[in-house]
């Protein structure tokens, strides 16, 4: 049996959700509400000692890290393959998934955290906030939560993160001007990894992704959104639209 512990179909949670839906795999969905700090609960930390989503449970074993989860799913359930069939294609795919994990996602995440966490912790008293922080298993995440709660990331760090988002989009546009999908002619885990990061950019940072400068990225986004697997994953959103809207407005 497959079980996925995940948040909304955004960022790292969206990656395995899309992969599972693309493959048409049945799974039990466990929604972990990040706004209620459920990822830091003792029960969840037993599953993922990092206190982060997503986490996959398969035959009683836990697999963490969204990119690793997707590689695992593709290896164990190869009927609908999501990797190119050549070694070169797979290398290209992994360069993209690594790039998303190490460059694009952390940059976007910093900006998102700086804009959104303040609202998430707004209702907490200082004592309640400290109690929440104390449960976060990773010291570096504790520091990130503290800074984000005060919207106190240094401006130069935010500027650098924004610049890296712009570079990420340029890199996508260059690749998509040469090939149909990010890893070549085959739709792959590279596209799945990039989509959750890139999908909000035309709205949040239109100076980086727009009809004039990045038509191929916009065409790729439209092709991604037209895929039934992507649509099924996005349809798993649970937060009422007004909450999502608040978060989006705050992120602008
Ligand atoms: N490298 C991990 C990163 C996981 C991660 O950062 N998850 C975020 C959501 S996208 C999370 O759980 N954040 C809540 C927290 O850190 O408290 C992966 O790709 O799975």
pLDDT at 251: 38
Check pocket membership of 39 for ligand 1, CB cut-off 6 A.
Answer: yes
pLDDT of 244 over the 80 cut: no
89-108 confidence digits (pLDDT tens)? 999 999 999 999 999 999 99
Range in 45-49, 94-98, 153-157, 237-241 the model is least confident about: 237-241
pLDDT category at 240 given cuts 50, 70, 90 is: low
Check pocket membership of 50 for ligand 1, CB cut-off 6 A.
Answer: no
Exposed/middle/buried for 196, CB within 10 Å: 0-12, 13-18, 19+? Answer: buried
**Strand, coil or helix: 52:** coil
Placement of tokens 């799945």 in the chain:
192
Asked if 243 and 116 touch (Cβ cutoff 8 Å), the reply is no
pLDDT category at 159 given cuts 50, 70, 90 is: very high
pLDDT average, residue stretch 45-50: 97
pLDDT category at 87 given cuts 50, 70, 90 is: very high
pLDDT at 252: 35
What percentage of the chain carries pLDDT values higher than 90?
A: 94
Check pocket membership of 53 for ligand 1, CB cut-off 6 A.
Answer: yes
pLDDT at 249: 42
Distance 212 CA to ligand 1 centre (A): 33
Distance 13 CA to ligand 1 centre (A): 8
Exposed/middle/buried for 78, CB within 10 Å: 0-12, 13-18, 19+? Answer: exposed
pLDDT category at 241 given cuts 50, 70, 90 is: low
pLDDT average, residue stretch 162-189: 98
Ligand 1 pocket check: which of 9, 10, 12 to mutate, most ligand atoms within 8 Å of Cβ? 12
Check pocket membership of 55 for ligand 1, CB cut-off 6 A.
Answer: no
Q: Sheet harboring 2-6: ordered strands across? A: 28-31, 2-6, 55-58, 61-64
Measured distance CA(165)–CA(27) in Å, rounded = 33
187-199 confidence digits (pLDDT tens)? 999 999 999 999 9
Q: For ligand 1, what atom is nearest to the CA of residue 34?
A: 14
Instruction: Give the number of C-alpha atoms closer than 13 A to the C-alpha of residue 114, restricted to the C-beta side.
Output: 18
Check pocket membership of 34 for ligand 1, CB cut-off 6 A.
Answer: yes
Q: What are phi and psi of 184, to 5 degrees?
A: 130, -140
57-66 confidence digits (pLDDT tens)? 999 999 999 9
Q: For ligand 1, what atom is nearest to the CA of residue 138?
A: 16
Check pocket membership of 71 for ligand 1, CB cut-off 6 A.
Answer: no
Average pLDDT score over the chain? 94
Measured distance CA(11)–CA(105) in Å, rounded = 8
Q: Which two tokens stand for residue 44?
A: 């969840």
In angstroms, the Cα distances linking 213 to 77, 116, 172, 186, 208 are 38, 28, 12, 24, 8
Distance 52 CA to ligand 1 centre (A): 4
Distance 106 CA to ligand 1 centre (A): 10
């Amino acid at each position: 049996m497959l079980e996925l512990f995940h948040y909304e179909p955004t960022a790292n949670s969206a990656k395995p959700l899309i992969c599972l839906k693309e493959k048409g795999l049945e799974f039990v969905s466990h929604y972990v509400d990040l706004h209620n700090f459920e990822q830091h609960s003792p029960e969840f930390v037993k599953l993922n000692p990092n206190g982060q989503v997503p986490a996959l449970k398969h035959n009683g074993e836990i697999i963490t890290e969204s990119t690793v989860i997707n590689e695992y799913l593709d290896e164990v359930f190869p009927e609908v393959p999501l990797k190119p069939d050549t070694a070169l294609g797979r290398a290209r795919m992994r360069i993209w998934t690594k790039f998303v994990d190490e460059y694009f996602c952390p940059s976007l995440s910093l900006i998102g955290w700086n804009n959104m966490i303040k609202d998430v912790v707004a209702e907490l008293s200082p004592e309640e906030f400290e109690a929440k922080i104390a449960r976060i298993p990773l010291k570096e995440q504790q520091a990130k939560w503290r800074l984000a709660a005060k919207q106190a990331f240094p401006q130069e760090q935010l500027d650098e993160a924004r610049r890296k988002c712009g570079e990420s989009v340029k890199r996508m546009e260059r690749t998509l001007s040469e090939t149909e999908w990010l890893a070549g002619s085959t739709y792959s885990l590279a596209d799945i990894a990039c989509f959750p990061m890139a999908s909000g950019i035309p709205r949040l940072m239109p100076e980086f992704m727009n009809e004039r400068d990045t038509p191929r990225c916009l065409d790729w986004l439209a092709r991604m959104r037209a895929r039934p697997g992507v649509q099924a994953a996005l349809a798993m959103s649970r937060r009422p639209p007004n909450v999502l809207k608040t978060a989006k407005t705050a992120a602008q």
